[in-house]
Amino acid sequence: MTATAYYIDGVRVPIGRAKDTGYYAHTRADDLAVRSIRALLERNPGVPADRIDDVAWAATAQVGDQGLTLGRSLAILAGLGKTVPGYAIDRMCAGAMTAIVNAGNAIRVGAQDLVLAGGVEHMGNHPMGAEIDPNPRFLSDKLVDPTALVMGNTAENLHDDHPDVTRQRCDEFALLSQERTAKAQADGIFATHVVPVTVRSPEGWRVVDVDEHPRPGTTPESLAGLESPFRPGGRVTAGNAAGLNDGAGGVLLASEQAVEEHGLTPKMKMMDYAFVGVEPETMGYGPVPATRKLLQRNGLTIDDIDVVDMNEAFAVQCVAFLDAFDLPLDADKVNPYGGAIAMGHPLAFSGARLAMQLATYLDRNPDAQRGITTMCIGLGMGAAVLWERA
């Protein structure tokens, strides 16, 4: 019989901009992750640090301050004790999401009771694609089109495949992301899982405690005036796509036995998940077949889902998702607190943020029973996780 994996809590640092004037320009990636882990355990003092069974932590660029078997490094750096193991994960944008389902699976089969799972991406220290060397056979053997290796180009390709997903509709969705994020900030939604961080800058030390990326003054006119960097007359712009960002965070998952032993209060439980492959040239479509597979396997329809937290890598993939499930552009149950277009997308970290926001929604909406976190993944994949109120 499969045991239950419970989501207990989630903590993240404020998301910064990946630039030399951004929050974390002078901060190490692993230190951001350590801050998240320590804060998570401080908020759950009933959990002894040395009782953590594993630390599953993701990064897309597993080099430099994001390398050295990240999960194990973080266990030592965060003071969990040298008996606590850990490992590193790379599934590009779905790194933390993969860490979470791996941790959940370890609990469900009875192998572990308490697991920390999350991700970190310091895109300022490790620009996307700067430290990779794709096998030349990808292109020489025509395994993928060259556009598959540039995420912005894959978004333009998705526009080509879905002409009903117009630039105007994508800009409208992007504006909605900014508006919903601003409202969520004002309502204290993110305060439930964002912790302050002390950072160093040329001007000295300071504390940051809110996400750096949102642009609350965004207007339809300002979005319409932006040009695409990916092709002449393109439809993907800096305004309707996620930014380049730095961030870290993770969640605490527990077994029923650990919940009882340590007096924990579960917020939701992990029910099922799906990962799928799609055409690399249109990787943004991944959430659609992943969500369909998940729903079909569980005998559900999208109407049975009370909330969807979807990573907004590009507005085009979000609008295509909404169309695929016959949902309106402003569907209340999809990204009710905004998303990555406003907040930013530090690659391997983002899946942890989605889980935190979904848990917060369930906590604040007692009538909501089920939710899905979903995202597209570079090189042509999609992921979706089904959660239920605990």
- Token pair 């993907």: residue: 236
Same domain, 34 and 64: yes
What CATH number does the domain containing 82 carry? 3.40.47.10
Does any domain span residue 201?
no
Same domain, 313 and 362: yes
Task: Please count the structural domains in the chain.
Answer: 2
Q: For residue 130, is pLDDT > 90?
A: no
Same domain, 171 and 260: no
Q: What are the tens digits of pLDDT across the range 304-360?
A: 999 999 999 999 999 999 999 999 999 999 999 999 999 999 999 999 999 999 999
Same domain, 23 and 110: yes
- What percent of the chain clears pLDDT 90, i.e. is strictly above it? 97
Same domain, 160 and 13: no
Does any domain span residue 197?
no
Of 205, 233, 268, the one marking the end of a domain is: 268
Q: For residue 167, is pLDDT > 70?
A: yes
Same domain, 298 and 380: yes
Does any domain span residue 214?
no
Instruction: Report pLDDT for 1.
Output: 61
Same domain, 99 and 178: no
Same domain, 122 and 152: no
Same domain, 112 and 261: yes
Catalytic site positions: 93, 345, 376
Same domain, 285 and 346: yes
Same domain, 260 and 369: no
Mean pLDDT of 270-286: 98
- Select from 8, 7, 77, 5 the least CA-distant residue to 37: 77
Could you list the residue range(s) of the whole structural domain that residue 326 is in?
137-188+271-389
Mean pLDDT of 202-207: 91
Does any domain span residue 25?
yes
Of 268, 301, 334, the one marking the end of a domain is: 268
Same domain, 25 and 10: yes
Amino acid in the structure at residue 14: P
Q: For residue 54, is pLDDT > 70?
A: yes
- Residue 151 pLDDT grade (very low, low, confident, very high; cuts 50, 70, 90): very high
Does any domain span residue 292?
yes
